[in-house]
Amino acid sequence: MIGLMIADNQLSREGLLALIEKHRNGCEVRGGASNGVEALRQLEEIKPDILLTDIEIPEMDGIELTRRAKSVSPDTRSIIYSTKSDEGYVLSALRAGAKGYILKTASFEQLDAALHKVHTGGYYLSDEILQMVVDYFCQSDHRTDKRDPLTGREREVLLLVRDGLTSAEIASRLSISHRTVEAHRFRAMKKLHLRKHSELVRYFIEEPGAGHVRKT
């Protein structure tokens, strides 16, 4: 059973609770708060598996709540559930530690997929959010390092790999062959000196557009 906490207004929380109870999707709502300060207090006490939070909540917004959640409940994974779809909010949320970003216009099936994907250690972005992220990183004007060796297609493939898609799924989405996907992936990972999926995630979240992985 996935323990879930929701930080959102009361109407949204009640609606989500009703949907979860109706669909019996393996989730249990164990806490809820209408502002960030109360949500942070509950996080420390309840330590849920997943925090589902809107961005626009009073006293402490959802992005700051996501950032602080890591210190009071390190094992809790955060998903942003919002109407906000512009790149500033999305990138800030990912850099704050969000493992998922899903729009409130998404179907319950998508939300359910997000909850289970994030619970098992993956990332989940709504289709609209994923497309925005791909568009953002494929535009050279947004690269922070002009020496970035990746081509637009290599970057696009890596973003989809980062989000857990298989080579077959990427090939279908981009209308290219499975072999072409593998070639792009191999060349891009080699250029960036990346070996593991965790390193790939860090590359896009902590240093978007950079040509190398920051050393720790």
Q: Where in the chain is the domain with CATH 3.40.50.2300?
A: 2-130
CATH 1.10.10.10 domain locations along the chain: 139-206
**pLDDT at position 216, please?**
30
Can you tell me the distance from the alpha carbon of 47 to that of 62, in angstroms, rounded to the nearest whole number?
A: 17
Give the count of beta carbons closer than 10 Å to the beta carbon of residue 193: 11
Length, in residues, of the chain: 216
Under CATH, which number does the domain 2-130 receive? 3.40.50.2300
pLDDT attached to residue 30: 94
* DSSP-derived 3-state class of residue 130: helix
Q: For residue 21, what pLDDT is reported?
A: 86
Residue 180: the pLDDT is 82
In the chain, the DSSP E strands lie at: 2-7, 27-33, 50-53, 77-82, 100-103, 124-125
Q: Fold for domain 139-206? A: Arc Repressor Mutant, subunit A (1.10.10)
Per-residue pLDDT of the chain (216 residues; tens, 9 = 90+): 999 999 999 999 999 999 988 888 889 999 999 999 999 999 999 999 999 999 999 998 999 999 999 999 999 999 999 998 887 788 889 888 999 999 999 999 999 999 999 999 999 998 888 877 777 766 644 444 444 567 777 778 888 887 778 888 888 888 788 888 888 888 888 877 777 766 776 666 665 443 332 333
pLDDT value, residue 205: 64
